[in-house]
Structure 1
Amino acid sequence: MAEENKVRIHGMWVSPFVRLVKLALEIKGIQYEYVEEDLKNKSSLLLEYNPIHKKVPVLVLNGKPLVESLIILEYIDETWKNGPRFLPEDPYKRAQIRFWCSFVHRQVIFENMTLVLKSDGAAQVKVVKEVFEGLNTLEEEIKNIFPEGIKIIVYKNVGLLGLVIVSTFGHYKALEEYLGLKLIDSEKTPPPPLIFLVVSSI
């Protein structure tokens, strides 16, 4: 790969945010070098590239770093026009997609899922219920954003929100087994919820 087109990701294998960036690059057909980081012993490069948060993922293009997974994805979409576009052309729809991507990232991952892992018993069940209610709200809003109809998202036409959902919940069965709690219930809202379809189809 020519040096002027060199793409590198600094990440950690367990991070859904890193999975999100890797998946976006792979869908676009972009070759990249991957550097696994130990967040308990952060490399000097990671500290240099992300001095504020000191976290992964970091995407480095031509020696220039970008941080925050959603910002990285928009950059990828704007820089590489090949493959599916991650954001719709309509400005209002783009704004809605950005909001719900942020909702999944911040409320579902940072707030609720962190509480799930730190709690047990009735408190944990309550948080899981809130996660499911949030996903139901998200599903209804997706129907409002795309009133022309919902299609199962596949590898070649996945958008930004689909990528975020997959990277967040793609491992939900392992989480359910680990926690002993059902995070996504495909039987509560027949036919199966859109979130379940998105996760199961990629």
Structure 2
Amino acid sequence: MNDDLPTIEVLAEDFEDLKATVHGFASQLEHNTEKVNQLAITVASGGGQDGEKEKEKEKPKTPPFILWLSGDKYAAELSSLAGWVRDLLAPTYLGEVSSSAPWCASWWAHPAAVARLHATWLAWQELTNPETCGLTGPSVWHRDHLDPMLAQLRASDGPFAGCMTNPDRPQHTLLSVPPIGPLLPPPVPAAP
């Protein structure tokens, strides 16, 4: 047998990924076709200009980058994320805390953790919806989002490095943040 040839398992996974991608494209095509048909009906009924105004008002819904939100929007997004972390992520995927896999009970105080957890949560919402991802969505989510995120957060030099490494001795330590502005050394006094 040739060692350069992919295994059946690899080919099956690739095939499932391709099926999910094609399903996503088909859903997008269906959505776009529906929009074109609605626009054609609007134009045919003499509402072309009103349809254009509505089109200008309608902006694509993109997920927010949570660290760019503020006030009530940030609080609402963080609250939803916290529910997902508490109810799904922590009990299912975190396992034991150790020096090689730290966790912080105050994860929301670490902006890098909030950003990574939020991005993974957004991907989870999309990739566990059978209408948008097909049957391989959860597998893709685990491989492409969950596993890399956990590896980064729980790394010995990750955002939780100074936090809880022993469940019997919880601690929370934020790593220092460099000051904003040029990082120049202080001027050297002139020799007398």
Q: Which bracket does the TM-score occupy, shorter chain normalised? A: under 0.3
Q: TM-score, normalised by structure 2?
A: 0.26
| Structure with greater proportional strand content | 1
TM-score computed with the length of structure 1 as normaliser: 0.25
Higher RCO (C-alpha 8 Å, min separation 6)? 2
